[in-house]
Amino acid sequence: MIKIAPSILSADFSNLGSQVAAVEAGGAEYLHIDVMDGHFVPNITIGPLVVASLRPRSQMVFDTHLMIEEPDRYIPDFIKAGSDLVTVHQEACTHLHRTVSLIREKGAKAGVALNPATPWQSLEYVLPMVDLVLVMSVNPGFGGQKFISAVLPKITELARYRQENGLSYEIQVDGGVNGQTIAQVVQAGADVLVAGAAVFGVPDPQAEVALLRAAAY
Ligand code: DX5
Ligand code: ZN
């Protein structure tokens, strides 16, 4: 069973509450919250305040993707605001083991993201303590970019490594996932599919969640 994680990056922020309610009614399991700092990526988005104001209005897993430098400084604030899962970038963490430990100590699930150019093998020593690996299929920073199919083998290798080592991390894919690309991503071994423009760029985001799930198989 795959999970769908609509990314609010492409939502209408003047109607954020109702947009979130729509994808929840459509059956989305995770709400993907893209946090950008203008340093790690060339764009600025939202902070813990938005997570806190959405929290009482949704039962979905709040999946917080931190595209920020020095994530340790903000992890406790996001967890306090209601993030269930916090994902940091391997490329932004000098002491990744410490950062993953901090997320878990504060009571959230821990994810690690990999940019398209970063090999999955860089995570080998932390994979036993990680709840999710996020494979970026675009260079992070913006919604609506084109899917980079060169990352497909990375997904398959992470699934194989998980199987061979009896591990249980989820494999999430983020960037350019839509009705045309989702089947190959699921075929490669992904469990959690992020979709921003595909879900919120259409008139009926609620219906789109189910359409995307149907296109996955
Ligand atoms: C990219 C973000 C993604 C993005 C996905 O930097 O991490 O979550 O919103 O958007 P789409 O699905 O439009 O590529
Ligand atoms: Zn994201």
Hunting for tokens 């020593």 — which residue is that?
125
Predicted complex ipTM exceeds 0.90: yes
- Ligand 1 atom closest to residue 32's alpha carbon, by position in its atom list: 8
Instruction: Please give the share of the chain, as a percent, with pLDDT higher than 70.
Output: 100
pLDDT at 88: 99
pLDDT at 60: 98
Q: For residue range 156-185, what is the model confidence (pLDDT) as tens digits?
A: 999 999 999 999 999 999 999 999 999 999
- Ligand 1 atom closest to residue 199's alpha carbon, by position in its atom list: 12
Residues touching ligand 1 (Cβ under 6 Å) are 7, 9-10, 32, 34, 65, 138, 140-145, 174-177, 194-198
pLDDT band at residue 97 using 50, 70 and 90 as cut-offs: very high
Binding residues for substrate: 7, 65, 141-144, 174-176
Average pLDDT over residues 111-123: 98
What does pTM read for this prediction? 0.98
Q: For residue range 1-23, what is the model confidence (pLDDT) as tens digits?
A: 999 999 999 999 999 999 999 99
Q: For residue range 129-161, what is the model confidence (pLDDT) as tens digits?
A: 999 999 999 999 999 999 999 999 999 999 999
pLDDT at 15: 97
pLDDT at 98: 98
Round to whole Å and give the CA distance between 65 and 87. Answer: 5
- To test ligand 1's pocket by mutation, which of 8, 9, 132, 134 has the most ligand atoms within 8 angstroms of CB? 9
Average pLDDT over residues 42-52: 98
Question: How crowded is the C-beta side of 36, counted as CA atoms within 13 Å?
Answer: 15
Q: How far is the CA of 37 from the centre of ligand 2 (A)?
A: 13
The ligand whose atoms approach the alpha carbon of 132 most closely is 2
Average pLDDT over residues 112-125: 98
DSSP state of 32: E
State the chain's mean pLDDT as an integer. 98
**C-beta separation of 205 from 197 below 8 A:** no
Helices 16-25 & 205-215 angle (0-180, nearest 10): 40
Q: Which of 62, 50, 69, 80 is nearest to 24 (CA)?
A: 62
